[in-house]
Structure 1
Amino acid sequence: MRAMAIDAATRRLVPVRRPVPVPGPREVLLRVRACGVCRTDLHIIDGELPRREPSAVPGHEVVGEVVGLGPQARR
């Protein structure tokens, strides 16, 4: 999958390729069509808040379509 990640050295957003994740038991897999970056994401990019991982992919405000289900995902 394609994503924009925070480069650990430059603290800029850079395009990256990551493996397509496999949904867990009660999860769904989304094909993201649009993603917003909120102010909290910008604080992380600017170094004002700590990152949980070195090359974090910001953006949790997404619009997408369900393309996969975990084995216990029902709705």
Structure 2
Amino acid sequence: MKAMVLERVGAPLRLVDGPDPTPGTGEIRLKVEACAVCRTDLHVIDGDLHHPKLPLIPGHEIVGIVDSVGKGVARSRV
């Protein structure tokens, strides 16, 4: 999984290439097709919002395709 990660407030985002996560019980995994970064994300990156939980992958407006489901998830309902 590739992601732009904020490791320290005010620092540039760093491209990280890690393993694809495995969905747990009741979870799904998306193959992200697009992700918007909004002004709130930029406030966190710039340090305008205090005490973000780091490391952080900015972006919460996501469009994707379900590519894996965890235990207890009915694929027909996703």
What TM-score results when the alignment is normalised by the length of structure 1? 0.87
Larger helix share, 1 or 2: 2
Listed as ranges, the matches of 1:12-23 within 5 Å are 12-23=12-23
- Residue of structure 1 in register with 2:61 after alignment: 61
Larger strand share, 1 or 2: 1
CA distance in 1, matches of 2:14, 2:70: 30
CA displacement at 1:59 relative to structure 2:
0.6
Deviation string for 1:8-56 (max 9, x for gaps)? 2752112111221111111110000110011111111001112112x21
Corresponding residue SS for 2:48: coil
CA distance in 2, matches of 1:52, 1:58: 11
Corresponding residue SS for 1:73: coil
CA distance in 2, matches of 1:67, 1:42: 29
Which aligned runs of 4 or more in structure 1 are off by greater than 3 angstroms? none
Which 5+ residue runs of structure 1 have no aligned equivalent? Answer: none
CA distance in 2, matches of 1:9, 1:30: 27
Larger radius of gyration: 2
The root-mean-square deviation of aligned C-alpha atoms, in Å, is 1.5
> Number of paired residues?
74
What TM-score results when the alignment is normalised by the length of structure 2? 0.84
